[in-house]
Each structure stands twice: as structure tokens, then as C-alpha cells.
Amino acid sequence: MPQKRSKRPARSAASPRRAAPRSGGYKEKFNLIADLVESAALCIISTDAGGLISSINRAGERMFGYRAKELVGRHISILNAQGNDPSVIKDLVDKSARGENWEAEILDRRKDGNIFPIWISTSYLSDASGRRAGGISVIRDVTAKKKAEEVLRYMAELVESAGHSIISTDRDGNIKSINKAGQRMFGYRAEELIGRPVSVLEPDGGLPPHLIRKFSGKRERGENWEAEGLGRRKNGEIFPLWLATSYLRDERGEIKGAVGISRDISLLKEFQEKTGYLAELVEKAAMGIISTDSRNRIVSINHAGELMYGYTAEELIGRDISILHSDRNPPGRLFRIREKSDFLEPWSAELYRRRKDGSEFLSWLSTGYLYDGAGRLKAKVCIERDVTEQRATERRLADAEHLANIGELAAGVAHEIRNPLGGIHTSVKMLLEQEGQKIGGDEMSLLRIIEKESSRLREIVTDFLRFGRPQEPILDNADLCRYMQEWVESIRRERLGGDGVEILLDLPGEPLHARIDRNQMQQVLLNLAINAIHAMDGSGRLRFLVRRAGAAAEIAVEDSGAGIPEGEVERIFKPFFSRKKGGTGLGLPITRRIVLAHRGSIRCESRPGKGTRFTVSIPLAEGEWP
């Protein structure tokens, strides 16, 4: 409302809001116009030639907070506010002085002093002589508009500065806008894209068919959707992107366009591919890999670890790692490990571990640590391997080497003893067979004792030679079921063990073929059977069981005898250890050697008072396992 103040005195108003008409010729028309002005939604203010307010309508009263009688007769500058651009105000004053109509957005002031933005349009009235008679201004409060514009400007700045590509299209899919991130991502300038179809940014054929099928219905219904797809840069390069699309509607609810937010996920896909590859390596690794957090709670375990411990990952994740600990480990070793662990030093050791079923095994473990970006402990990673069988094999090899050394010594000693012993035995036998020689009764008894003991010594020497110089087995394909059936029938006929021993045989319902030396295997079975009969003291049940165990056949010899004390089970395969009076302690070592020569194994299970079971395991012949 910029207007220079007039030096004329103010006129008194005929009414609170407007001056009364001078004549009645136009009264009806005047009243109609006055009513329209009074009921208008916009503020309408009239002034005289000097800038004094002549009238203000109700909308103006509400806008400025004044009643009409408080304003009429006062200069329009009462509504002016500080803070307007001086150049703008000067331009409006100049136009007002020249009587030029004008409009602008400026700041005005309410009665309570609050300043607010307005849009004002001012026109000037002239009398019959052409002199200015006054002016009329139409004013609109644009506070809400300015706020909306501020919001829109803020949103535009957000869109423009966003790190993701943001593209808007019209209802026909033509590009209306693209922000700076989108220009960088696709390699185009905005002016190169606006007006072109959005398909220019898609590979030939657009979205993959499965995505088109999945989202076509949502597109038709105007439902928001997001997916991973492919984009095409200006240079033709195809790259993976993540895209989220929203639809815009007009006041009738019709779709008028869409907004797509997309992000280049090339690095993410590359990272996912690498991490997926590493995860697959971990999952398929032959060794168990377990990770725990800083509080020793299990975070992950791979498939090999699940098999090793008998747990599923779901059963372990979140539980304390101590669930896998065993109480068999030496305290000194645990103390050294704890010292390194407290200082987050990597360590490796062999420890006993515990499975889900409670059984324990020996494991080799190597533990390292992972840290976050701040250097704090994030996770512990343990790689482990069940070395129970490896250590047992090493012990067997060491025992075999030890046995070989002993065997060589025994064979040498036995060979030296055998010749003179043979001479003694032959001489005594010749003396006993001579007729007519006068030998007294005492001498005859002594000769018979010498013959008996020399025979026993010859058997012992033969065992020494058999142990010290084992024969290589001559392997031949055999049906173990038929072989065992024939062999058990033969010992039944020979009444091995006498009438007090019941001999049983359990066979599977299928033939089991293995390559064996029939004579050596007969010696193995006979040694085990004689030991079993001796353990039962001539009365009990001797049972032979044949069964398939994976890629091997197992022959078990089970007795109902007194069993073997726990501390002696580990010693029974050592040379010269015998529980029989007068035994050489070579029967089971010889038996074990024969089984090992067949690429098999033998184990003993015994409980005092419950009997003993020896199990011989031999590989099945090729093609005989499922």
C-alpha cells in the first residue's frame, strides 16, 4: 500500500466502512456493488487521493484485526510493515505517483503488530477532469501460500540434494524431472531426458518378465512397489539398481504421474556375491567353524560343525559355548589357553569336546578374533577338526612299529632257540621210544615232563615266529555269511568249548562280500573264540554276529563271561600281556596284525560281569556297498 501522505486534512467518514453516496440516482446500483464488496472473500480497501482510507470490507477487518471505524479516515500507511525490500517499495511509490496500477507481494502489519505476507493489487481512480480521485486495493493473505512455497522449496532442495536418483514422470511415462544424483547415475543432463520416455533408462525389453508379471497389477491399481532391476546408462552400460515407485493422483483420484527412487547397487551386489561365496566356503568347509560374540554366545556354526557335535545350528545359536566343553581337559592346558584368551591372543590346542549325546572326542582348535571399526572385539572365530581317529591311527602306527621291532627281536631269538630245542625234543622222544632200555620209573617221569614242556616251548616259539614274521594275506573274494556259517558249523562239530558252551550265529538277510585270507581269518576267529570260552570258564553263550556297517562288514564275537577290568582293556592288544595262566600274550597281537593286514580294524568292548565283545571290521569288496 505504498503511497505518499497527502497534506490535506482528513475527512470525516459518513459510515464506519464506506462513505455515503452523493446522489440517489445510482443508489440501487451503488448498494449492489457495496454489498458485493462487503461480502467478498478478499480484503478490499479504498482510499482517497491523499491516501486516506475511505472504506474496508469485513474480510479486511478480519485480516488486519481492525474495525472499519478504526481505519476510515486514517492514512493507509498504518498498515505498512518494516522489513520490505526498499527497492521494491521505491518502485511501487513511483508507480503510485504516476498513477500506474500495480501488484506485488509485500509485508503488512496487523493491529496486534504481527507482520504477515500479502498479495496486493492496486488501481487508481480519476475524476472527470483526469485528476486522481482515489484508489482501490484488493489484498490476499498469502501466509499459507508462502509456507506452502517454503515447504515446496525445501522439498525441492531435498530432492535435488538426495543421494538417490529421483525421477518423476507424467501419466504416459515421460520424464518430467530428474535430480543431480540421477544425472550422475545415468550419465545424462536433465535437459537430455526431460520429455523423453523413462524406458530410455531401461535395458532393451524393460524390466525382467518375472518383475513385469509381479508388478503389472500394482501398476494398474496405482499401488506403490519396489524391486531390484537393471538400469542403462547413457554409454549403454547395464547395471543393477534398486527401484521404488510411487504414483501421483489428481483431485479426481486419477493417476497423473509417478515418482521413482532408485539406487545403483553394483557395489552392493558385488559385495553380496563375495560374501555369499565366502559364506558358501564356510558352510561347505570340511572343518567345523564356530563364531561367538564378546560374551561367548554362539553366533554361527557351519554344517561340518553340526555334524561334529550332533546339534543343529538352531539348537546352538544364542547359547554359551561352554555347552561344548568337556571336563577331561588338563587344568594346566586350560589355564594357558585362558591366559591367551584374556589378552585376545590367537591360540591353538587339542582339547576334548562334548557332543549333544554326551560322548566326548578329541578336537584340534584354532581361535582368532574379529574387531569392529572402533577396534572393539566383535566376534571370536574357532576352526576345529575331530582328530580322535587321527590320533588313534597314529597310536596304531606307533604300536605297529613297536610291534615290528619286538617281532624282529622275537623272531631272531625264537629262531636261535628253535634248533637246539628241536634237538632236545627229538632226543627225548627217541629215548622214550627205545625198547629194552632199562630206565627207572623216576627217570621215565622226568623224560615225559621234558617232552611235554619242550612241546609247549615249541608252540611258544612258533607263536613268536608267527608274530615276528607275519605272512602277507592271500586275499580272495568270499561271502562272509556263508564263510561264517561253515566255520561255526565246524567248531560245533568239534565241540569247541564242550557241552557247557552254547554257540549262536546271527546273519544279515543279504550276502556280504569281502576279500579275505580264509586261513588267517580262521586263525582270528579261533583265537577270539578260545579266549571267549576261557573267559566263560567252559559254561555260557558264545555268539557270532555278522552285519553291514556302511562300506564295511563287521564280525562280532560276544561272550557271557566275567568281562575284562576297565584298566586292562587298553592293554590286551599289547605283546606279552595275558590274563590266562601260562599264556604267551601273543594271541591278540597276532589277531590284530592279521586284521590290520586286511585293511580292517578290531575293537573290544567289555564290562565286568556283563561279558566281552570283540568286533572285527573289514572293508566290503568293491561294488558291495550301497
Q: Which residue has the higher pLDDT, 556 or 10?
A: 556
Q: Is 326 helix (H, G, I), strand (E, B) or coil?
A: coil
- Integer CA distances (angstroms), 273 to 185, 199, 230, 574, in order: 22, 28, 17, 56
Determine which helix (DSSP H) or strand (DSSP E) holds 483, and give its type and residue range.
Answer: helix 480-493
**Residue with cell string 549325546:** 357
Residue 591, pLDDT above cutoff 80: yes
- The answer to whether 614 and 528 are in contact (CB under 8 A) is yes
- Integer CA distances (angstroms), 70 to 17, 138, 144, 491, 561, in order: 9, 19, 27, 136, 125
Determine which helix (DSSP H) or strand (DSSP E) holds 331, and give its type and residue range.
Answer: helix 331-342
Determine which helix (DSSP H) or strand (DSSP E) holds 104, and give its type and residue range.
Answer: strand 102-109
pLDDT at 203: 86
Query: Amino acid identity, residue 505?
Result: L
pLDDT at 340: 87
Alpha-carbon distance 87 to 194, whole Å? 37
pLDDT at 441: 62
Q: Is 350 helix (H, G, I), strand (E, B) or coil?
A: strand
Return the closest-CA partner of residue 49 out of 6, 17, 11, 93: 6
- pLDDT tier at 122 (50, 70, 90 boundaries)? very high
Triad 311, 312, 316: Cα angle to 5°: 75
Q: Identify each DSSP E strand in 458-500 by its residue range.
A: 476-479
Triad 484, 487, 491: Cα angle to 5°: 135
pLDDT at 486: 92
Least confident of 193-202, 346-355, 421-430: 421-430
Q: Which residues pair with 558 in a beta bridge?
A: 543, 613
Alpha-carbon distance 275 to 305, whole Å? 20
Query: Amino acid identity, residue 418?
Result: R
DSSP for 217-264 reads: HHHHHT--EEEEEEEE-TT--EEEEEEEEEEEE-TTS-EEEEEEEEEE
End-to-end CA distance of the chain: 102
Once rounded to an integer, what is the mean pLDDT over residues 49-61?
91
**Residue with cell string 489484498:** 139
Give the orientation angle of helix 587-597 with respect to helix 441-468, to 10 degrees: 30
| Average pLDDT in the chain | 81
Query: Amino acid identity, residue 47?
Result: T
Query: Amino acid identity, residue 459?
Result: E
- Integer CA distances (angstroms), 413 to 465, 577, 582, 589, in order: 9, 19, 20, 18
pLDDT at 470: 59
Residue 485, pLDDT above cutoff 60: yes
Alpha-carbon distance 469 to 407, whole Å? 7
- The answer to whether 482 and 520 are in contact (CB under 8 A) is no
pLDDT at 555: 94
Triad 209, 211, 212: Cα angle to 5°: 65
Query: Amino acid identity, residue 400?
Result: A
Residue 576, pLDDT above cutoff 90: no
CB neighbour list of residue 268: distance below 8 Å, 6 or more residues apart? none
Once rounded to an integer, what is the mean pLDDT over residues 220-239?
85
- Integer CA distances (angstroms), 607 to 361, 398, 428, 537, in order: 21, 27, 46, 17
Highest mean pLDDT among 70-79, 241-250, 398-407, 415-424: 70-79
Q: Which residues pair with 300 in a beta bridge?
A: 291
Once rounded to an integer, what is the mean pLDDT over residues 340-361?
90
**Residue with cell string 501522505:** 5
CB neighbour list of residue 536: distance below 8 Å, 6 or more residues apart? 497, 501, 542, 559, 560, 561, 562
Edge-to-edge strand ranges of the sheet holding 552-559: 501-506, 540-549, 552-559, 611-619, 601-607
Alpha-carbon distance 182 to 194, whole Å? 12
Alpha-carbon distance 527 to 602, whole Å? 13
Query: Amino acid identity, residue 439?
Result: I
Least confident of 240-244, 399-403, 415-419: 415-419
